[in-house]
């Protein structure tokens, strides 16, 4: 038994360092996709609520499409088909071919998918704002981006916090899908270690434990942040 656990220590023969590097790649992909998803979701939510009908319809189609198509299929399409189309375009313009990296593909695809889910969370959070507060802000001369930055965004944040924390947890798990294109994230590294040592249970349980540890830390931090933000909300009578 000790000899088996030596396979995941931090010596030259152990896989501990490689697994931590894979975990770090997973966190980078998740963080990048989360930021992209936040930006896209916020824009799409505003379009669905306040844009002209044709633009709002396009935003709704985007939300439905990217929630309906599996993330794995989207990753494969962007990585292989997207790379082929991009290189064809670069060749027609007289430039060299561009290699689309696995992490970049993961961030873009997962960000687009998370943006679709985030847009619904933001839409519900914006609609939960008492309309009288928006009217009061307009009476004081706030409009457009100033109204959004000073009134809408601070008030909607507590309503959206729980949903965004849940999206972050799901994003950490979805980042494992990028292993299909050979990116050295946590699951791909665990699969390599399991295949080379034939200790499948050890490496996959180690990967599961690391995912679980990240989830626990994320739940703790998001809970503290949510309690801090909710201090600004009025108490329900």
Alpha carbon 228 to its chain's center: 23
CA distance 59 to 93: 31
| pLDDT tens digits, one per residue of 122-140 | 998 888 887 777 778 778 7
| pLDDT tens digits, one per residue of 23-51 | 999 999 999 999 999 999 999 998 898 88
Q: With 50 as the cut, is the pLDDT of residue 2 above it?
A: no
Q: With 60 as the cut, is the pLDDT of residue 237 above it?
A: no
| pLDDT tens digits, one per residue of 76-103 | 887 788 778 888 888 888 887 777 777 8
Q: Which domains does the chain have, with CATH numbers?
A: 21-230 (1.10.3720.10)
CA distance 153 to 189: 40
CB 132 within 8 A of CB 56: no
Q: With 80 as the cut, is the pLDDT of residue 7 above it?
A: no
Which pair of tokens denotes residue 60? Answer: 């709704």
CB 158 within 8 A of CB 78: no
Q: With 80 as the cut, is the pLDDT of residue 234 above it?
A: no
């Amino acid at each position: 038994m000790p000899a088996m656990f030596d396979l995941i220590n931090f010596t030259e023969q152990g896989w501990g360092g490689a697994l931590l590097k894979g975990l770090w790649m997973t966190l980078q992909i998740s963080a990048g996709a989360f930021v992209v998803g936040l930006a896209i979701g916020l824009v799409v939510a505003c379009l669905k609520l306040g844009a002209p009908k044709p633009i709002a319809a396009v935003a709704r189609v985007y939300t439905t499409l990217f929630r309906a198509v599996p993330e794995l299929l989207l990753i494969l399409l962007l990585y292989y088909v997207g790379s082929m189309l991009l290189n064809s375009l670069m060749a027609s313009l007289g430039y060299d071919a561009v290699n689309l990296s696995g992490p970049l593909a993961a961030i873009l695809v997962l960000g687009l998918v998370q943006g679709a889910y985030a847009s619904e969370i933001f839409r519900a959070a914006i609609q939960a704002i008492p309309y009288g507060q928006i009217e009061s802000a307009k009476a004081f001369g706030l409009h457009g981006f100033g109204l959004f930055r000073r009134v809408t965004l601070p008030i909607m944040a507590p309503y959206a916090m729980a949903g965004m924390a849940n999206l972050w947890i799901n994003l950490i798990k979805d980042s494992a899908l990028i292993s299909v294109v050979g990116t050295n994230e946590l699951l791909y590294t665990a699969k390599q270690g399991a295949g080379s040592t034939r200790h499948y249970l050890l490496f996959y349980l180690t990967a599961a434990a690391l995912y679980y540890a990240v989830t626990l830390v994320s739940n703790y931090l998001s809970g503290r942040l949510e309690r801090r933000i909710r201090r600004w909300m009025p108490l329900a009578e």
